[in-house]
Amino acid sequence: MSAAQPLSNIQQELLKLYSSDIPEKDLLNIKRFLAKYFALKAVGEADNIWEQKAYSNETMDKWLFRVDQANQGSDSQ
């Protein structure tokens, strides 16, 4: 059996939050807030990479064309 790892700072804060009962409506709102926060953070990182690599709409079109071609090839098998 492996030793338990210490809780991260976010785990500790969430445990404090969830140590008391909160209404389901509030819980749902918190989940949505966290999901939106991490989604926006991911989009920001993707935007940074996009700019660093100088991608364009043409780059995305090429990628989509390749995926579409690959999917068409797998559909015929």
Token pair belonging to 9:
């700072």
Q: What is the pLDDT of residues 17-72, one digit of tens each?
A: 778 888 999 989 989 999 999 999 999 999 999 999 999 999 999 988 987 888 88
Model pTM score? 0.60
Q: What is the pLDDT of residue 40?
A: 98
Residue found by looking up tokens 């920001």 in the block: 44
Q: pLDDT-derived band of residue 74, with 50, 70 and 90 as boundaries?
A: low
| Contact assessment for residue 15 and residue 7, using Cβ atoms and an 8 Å cutoff | yes
Q: What is the pLDDT of residue 76?
A: 56
- Three-state secondary structure string covering 28-62: HHHHHHHHHHHHHHHHHHHHHHHHHCCCCHHHHHH
Alpha-carbon gap, residue 18 to 24, rounded angstroms: 12
